[in-house]
Amino acid sequence: MAHTPQAKYRKDYQSPSHTISDLDLTFDLHDKATLVTAVSQVKQQLDSTTLNLEGDNVELKSISVNGEEWSDYTIHPASLEIANLPSEFELVIVTLIDPEANSALEGLYKSGGAFCTQCEAEGFRRITYYMDRPDVLAKFTTTVIADKAQYPFLLSNGNRVDEGEVEGGRHWVKWQDPHPKPAYLFALVAGDFDVLRDKYTTKSGRDVALEIFVDKGNLDRASHAMVSLINSMKWDEERFDLEYDLDIYMIVAVDFFNMGAMENKGLNIFNSKFVLANNQTATDADYLGIEAVIGHEYFHNWTGNRVTCRDWFQLSLKEGLTVFRDQEFSSDLGSRAVNRIGNVRTIRGPQFAEDASPMSHPIRPEKVIEMNNFYTLTVYEKGSEVIRMMHTLLGEVGFQKGMKLYFERHDGTAATCEDFVAAMEQASGVDLTQFRLWYSQSGTPTLRVESDYDAENKTYSLTVEQSTEATHEQKEKQALHIPFDIELYSASGEPITLQCNGEKVHNVLDVKQDKQIFVFENVTEQPIPSLLREFSAPVKLEYDYSDDELIFLMVNARNEFARWDASQMLLGKYIRTNIDNIQQGKGVELPESVIDAFRGVLLNEELEPAFISEVLSLPNHNEVSGWFKQVDVDAIATVLKEMKVTLAQNLNDELSATYHSLKQDEYTIEHAAIGKRSLRNTCLAFLANNENGDALVVEQYNSSNNMTDTIAAMSAANAAQLPCRETLMQDYSDKWKHDGLVMDKWFALQGMNPASNALDNIKVSMEHSAFSLKNPNRTRNLIGSFLNFNAVQFHAKSGEGYQFAGEILRELNSSNPQVASRLIDPLLKYRRYDQQRQDLIKVELEKLKAMDNLAKDLFEKVTKALEA
């Protein structure tokens, strides 16, 4: 490395030396040379006549102060230092940038034929020199000038206030955003689009124009995004009493985007994956993903934009809270149980894995080298669990009071996580002193629970011990405040009233000490406990359930989540046992009673099909890997496969009957219809392993009238390595080769292909006309799926998988470090594998470390992993 990147620490926060009240931007757009004129109204705050502005990859053309050319400045590698300034002044900075060469997709860049921006977290500095930090809020006015024929639409934040034409076939549009905002919420788009228009009237009567911009020809794929937007606006009014605050809300879909979407004020920019859908191109999961992401970005308008973050260490202030809000939105619109199950799978799988990796960090990190590395499952998903725990502790009414107070205090400002917790605490009267530790302590706590029934005294006690293992950068751990939701059942399945010291107690216990004993009175028979209901805290639960108890809970627990959880614990027991068996050279076995329990769920007509589908879905390889200190890649894969085959064979008749009974002629995206398809396709995934599996899959593929069933057939063929796989893959590619977004599903299947020649096929797929390593979606689907969801082939003992990953990472390091940095995660966990694999992975990490142009993104992760 040329010079070692420096870390920033949360404790070093300093308020800005200057404020900027207004920023007037003019963009003269050209592919290779865009001229940016930035006029700022600046006021000195601290005792300093020097102003430091961040800048990255920008060429300074001129500086003037109060109308005079200014020569008192120094250009540093990542900043501009302007000296001897008056206390209040107008600053004009002109910079030149090259959007076409911007393959990092941060700042101003070209996506297909359009110009677009991505500024969060620190991309605005790639547009002009500026105080690129979230606590500097200014009113933006933006003028965009471009060729009229090529770029008929010129968009930016706020309201369109003026427009005109200039010589040479160019035109301009001027936008004004009345809400002061930090630079990371700035956006600009110029291009030619089809536009889907609608309108929404807020509950106080404000008319809002809604516009969704998509590539020409894609209008028939935009309507679900529009419906989702309108639903989001309505839901936020009803559940949170929050209304939209501008006259226009625009969403632009682009094909080249590093993540899902971006909540720029009034002008969201989206990865086209989260906008475009019709039944021929999108699966049910895509539809639900669009609803969730449209909601998420819309909800940011209040939690993120109206109240933003003081500094980037506070990211979870807006992300954890907004994820919580989008989860609630999806749960209110669809099935709460199924949504909760999905979210819990994410925490128990990838989030727990992140917590156990060298990148482990608290939801409010203390130390950062590259901020983009902290848009993580921990900050987002665990952050949302922390908000959810507060919701559990305060109840909906108390929580909403807290939200009101939070907005009263902080609207229009940049706030901290502490501000949020303080508002929650003061509005509700609930003491959150110890609870705050969730913000600073990293790692996954374990709750070890033991029970004891005293028949004579009719008491039942639960002994709860909590502990958190040391993490990479935090050795000492303290006891957390853990809301522990429980219920006790009698043998007949009746809930037992919880009583302590003669009084009825709430079913959410406050676990606050290393070890605590809860004694319940008047318990007249040996109860069966349902523990950590609703996954009331992001912890690992350890309790020695017998098979019978779990089977009992699968049937009798009053809430669906608890039933599902019991089914997963039961599967988990046998996954562990069978991994032991395989390691000792024995075979995989599953007792009849366990198979019967799953048969019972499959045949239970009172259960929602979507829920049954979740019960029948085994945890994936990654989640199971997380249960072990040393991961036995092949044993886990064998057990998961064999257990699936065993269930498939034993339940063949029931699976087949269910499969056939759930056929729908019409495709609709109503939740009930989605649920039926989900269960039917889960059945197919089992049946694919049985006799006639191939014929059944081919039949479904050929008769499918929607992408969900098409992809389900292909996935089943892929996972079970059916003879029809090749034909189906070829047919799909012939049909969709012109459409990258649709081809992503095909690339993902190539990435996940369990065949021993998967890597060769992946290399061939990279030559497919729809593939490009420059496009993050393509890269994530093909390469990302291989690294993340093809454990056996990626971890092949030959080391070929690792070498391939190394090559790709070295290439992406120069073209798009953010994508590289996401892709590298599986390699960081190398210490969990056997010595031979560790050594092979380490070689690749060392090679990266030795690169002299290693980007900060990879530098931070590689060094952490190697020192861990």
Which spans of this chain sit near ligand B3K (rule: CB under 6 A)?
120-121, 259, 261-263, 296-297, 300, 319, 372, 375
Q: Which is nearer to ligand B3K, 151 or 235 (CB)?
A: 235
Q: Extract the tokens encoding 722.
A: 């059916």
Q: Which is nearer to ligand B3K, 18 or 325 (CB)?
A: 325
Q: Extract the tokens encoding 525.
A: 């028979």
Q: Closest distance between ligand B3K and the C-beta of residue 260, in Å? A: 6
Show Cβ contacts of residue 671 under 8 Å, excluding neighbours closer than 6 positions. Answer: 333, 334, 335, 610
Q: Closest distance between ligand B3K and the C-beta of residue 299, in Å? A: 9
51 phi-psi bin (left φ>0, alpha ψ -120 to 50, beta other): beta
Q: Which is nearer to ligand B3K, 382 or 563 (CB)?
A: 382
Residue 861 contact partner, candidates Zn ion, ligand B3K, none, CB within 5 to 8 A by sort of partner: none
Whether residue 297 lies in the annotated active site: yes
SS3 754: coil
d(CA 40, CA 130): 9
Q: Closest distance between ligand B3K and the C-beta of residue 106, in Å? A: 8
Q: Which is nearer to ligand B3K, 57 or 516 (CB)?
A: 57
Q: Closest distance between Zn ion and the C-beta of residue 233, in Å? A: 17
Burial of 694 (0-12, 13-18, 19+ CB in 10 A): middle
Q: Closest distance between ligand B3K and the C-beta of residue 812, in Å? A: 15
User: Residue holding tokens 């960090």?
Assistant: 361
Q: Closest distance between Zn ion and the C-beta of residue 247, in Å? A: 24
CA 244 from centre of chain: 24
Residue 5 is given by DSSP the state P
Q: Closest distance between ligand B3K and the C-beta of residue 262, in Å? A: 5
Binding mask 84-103 for Zn ion (x = CB under 5 A): --------------------
Q: Which is nearer to Zn ion, 132 or 319 (CB)?
A: 319
d(CA 275, CA 474): 40
State which H helix or E strand residue 145 sits in: strand 138-147
443 phi-psi bin (left φ>0, alpha ψ -120 to 50, beta other): left
Closest CA to 233 of 184, 302, 177: 302
Residue 370 contact partner, candidates Zn ion, ligand B3K, none, CB within 5 to 8 A by sort of partner: none
Neighbours of 167 (CB within 10 A): 5
Residue 288 contact partner, candidates Zn ion, ligand B3K, none, CB within 5 to 8 A by sort of partner: none
d(CA 201, CA 205): 6
SS3 437: helix
Q: Closest distance between ligand B3K and the C-beta of residue 862, in Å? A: 19
Residue 259 contact partner, candidates ligand B3K, Zn ion, none, CB within 5 to 8 A by sort of partner: ligand B3K
Residue 805 contact partner, candidates Zn ion, ligand B3K, none, CB within 5 to 8 A by sort of partner: none
Burial of 832 (0-12, 13-18, 19+ CB in 10 A): middle
SS3 234: helix
Q: Closest distance between Zn ion and the C-beta of residue 302, in Å? A: 12
Residue 662 is given by DSSP the state T
Closest CA to 111 of 269, 251, 217: 269
Q: Extract the tokens encoding 151.
A: 């770029």
27 phi, psi to nearest 5 deg = -110, 120
d(CA 384, CA 325): 9
Q: Which of 54, 106, 263, 297 is catalytic?
A: 297
Residue 120 contact partner, candidates ligand B3K, Zn ion, none, CB within 5 to 8 A by sort of partner: ligand B3K
Q: Extract the tokens encoding 492.
A: 């007949």
Q: Which is nearer to ligand B3K, 24 or 370 (CB)?
A: 370
Q: Which is nearer to ligand B3K, 300 or 864 (CB)?
A: 300
| 582 touches 588 (CB < 8 A) | yes
Residue 553 contact partner, candidates ligand B3K, Zn ion, none, CB within 5 to 8 A by sort of partner: none
Q: Closest distance between ligand B3K and the C-beta of residue 304, in Å? A: 7
Show Cβ contacts of residue 226 under 8 Å, excluding neighbours closer than 6 positions. Answer: 196, 198, 210, 212
Closest CA to 257 of 824, 855, 778: 778
DSSP string, 435-491: GGHHHH--S-EEEEEEEEEETTTTEEEEEEEEEE--BTTB-------EEEEEEEE-T
| 99 touches 49 (CB < 8 A) | no
Q: Which is nearer to Zn ion, 319 or 860 (CB)?
A: 319
Q: Please, which of residues 287-346 interact with Zn ion by CB under 5 A?
A: 319, 322
CA 814 from centre of chain: 25
Residue 262 contact partner, candidates Zn ion, ligand B3K, none, CB within 5 to 8 A by sort of partner: ligand B3K
Radius of gyration of the chain (CA): 28
d(CA 453, CA 58): 71
Residue 343 contact partner, candidates ligand B3K, Zn ion, none, CB within 5 to 8 A by sort of partner: none
**Residue 819: strand pairing partners:** none
d(CA 510, CA 105): 46
Q: Which is nearer to ligand B3K, 304 or 609 (CB)?
A: 304
Q: Count of residues binding Zn ion (CB under 5 A)?
A: 2
Q: Which is nearer to ligand B3K, 123 or 675 (CB)?
A: 123
Residue 121 contact partner, candidates ligand B3K, Zn ion, none, CB within 5 to 8 A by sort of partner: ligand B3K
Q: Which is nearer to ligand B3K, 119 or 138 (CB)?
A: 119
Q: Which is nearer to Zn ion, 106 or 319 (CB)?
A: 319
CA 116 from centre of chain: 22
Reduced DSSP (H G I as helix, E B as strand, rest coil) percent helix, strand, coil of the chain, to 5: 45, 20, 35
d(CA 144, CA 28): 6
Neighbours of 485 (CB within 10 A): 19
SS3 9: strand
Q: Closest distance between ligand B3K and the C-beta of residue 809, in Å? A: 18
Sign of the CA dihedral with 109 first, then 114, 119, and 124 last: positive
Strands 308-309 and 414-415: parallel
Q: Closest distance between ligand B3K and the C-beta of residue 819, in Å? A: 11
Q: Extract the tokens encoding 804.
A: 């391939």
Q: Which is nearer to ligand B3K, 99 or 383 (CB)?
A: 383
Which stretches of the chain bind Zn ion, using CB under 5 A?
319, 322
Catalytic residues: 297
